Amino acid sequence: MLPGMAANPTLLCVVALALIDPDGQVLLQRRPEDRAHGGLWEFPGGKVEPGEAPDEALVREIAEELGITLCVTNLVPLTFAASPPDAPGRPIVLLLYTCRSWEGEPAPEPGAALQWVNAEAFRALAMPPLDVPLAAALEVWLKNPQ
């Protein structure tokens, strides 16, 4: 469990993945039109369930959403974004991991779409507010990996 989660049980922890292919392109997912942020491009992922570690949640969510298998040891935490204090609803913390190794071929869930894009293309895609700073940090990191 993340530090502070017990003290703030209303905090929603969400995990996201920057799946990076051998050419340095990143897989983005367009949300189904009938969901919140419908039609916007995002890093695939989902909510961390109670008692679940963030990296384990990401492995589960990616298997459900994309039909591919990840290994926890291949996930590298990169950055995070948080909803502003005055945002309506539950406070959200969105954790972004990178991964360069997986098994299977990513396939979109019904109503969604997938696209491999280079870092510069992030800026041209409409994204949910919390994905924007993640994309900016990923763009910098891809140009200068540590």
The answer to whether residues 78 and 137 touch, using CB atoms and an 8 Å cutoff, is: yes
Residue 120, helix vs strand vs coil: helix
Worst-scoring range by mean pLDDT, 2-6, 52-56, 107-111, 128-132?
Answer: 2-6
pLDDT at 2: 46
What's the rounded Cα separation, in Å, for the pair 18 and 25? 9
Longest Cα–Cα distance in the chain = 42
Task: Specify the pLDDT at position 38.
Answer: 66
Residue bearing the bigger pLDDT, 17 or 34: 17
Q: Which residue matches tokens 């409409």?
A: 126
Ordered by where they begin, the domains of the chain are 19-143 (3.90.79.10)
